[in-house]
Copies of this chain bind each other. A is one copy, B any other.
Amino acid sequence: MKDWLDEIHWNADGLVPAIAQDHRTGRILMMAWMNRESLALTVRENRAIYWSRSRGKLWRKGEESGHVQKVHELRLDCDADVIILQVEQLGGIACHTGRESCFYRVFEDGAWKVVDPILKDPDAIYRAGHPHE
């Protein structure tokens, strides 16, 4: 039997996009990237663990902010190169700007307009100054 991790078509950098969606409301919270190790750990620990491309290391979502994403379901697409995580977003904030979702800008009249409120001051979320954890 083929390993479930081998079925995934990792890109040239060994990554796949992972979309986190609120399991109750269906709202898309964020998209980040996973490598083989982070996906295996996500399943083992039942929480979203991404690969931070900017920092080049595992990113245990919520490790600093407390905004952990508990995983309820994982899905894979037809090309086996995109993953969806149905999550429970602890604290109700996924974005490093202090908003529920990273997708807080809407295209209107030829511009991107901020339409969602900041729920918590990022300075109060991140004390050590790592806005992307």
In the docked arrangement, what's the CA distance between A7 and B78, Å? Answer: 31
A84 touches B28 (CB 8 A): yes
Point out the residue from B4, B78, B99, B111 that lies within 8 Å of A104, measured CB to CB: B78
B7 touches A31 (CB 8 A): no
Determine whether A47 belongs to the interface, using a CB cutoff of 8 Å to chain B. Answer: no
In the docked arrangement, what's the CA distance between A79 and B77, Å? Answer: 24
Determine whether A119 belongs to the interface, using a CB cutoff of 8 Å to chain B. Answer: no
Residue of B nearest to A7 (CB): B112
Residue of B nearest to A31 (CB): B82
In the docked arrangement, what's the CA distance between A19 and B17, Å? Answer: 11
Residues of B within 8 A of A95 (CB): 78
A73 touches B28 (CB 8 A): no
In the docked arrangement, what's the CA distance between A46 and B103, Å? Answer: 20
* Residues of chain A whose beta carbon lies under 8 Å from any beta carbon of chain B: 1, 4, 7, 17, 19, 21, 25-28, 30-31, 43, 73-79, 82, 84, 95-97, 99, 102-107, 110-112
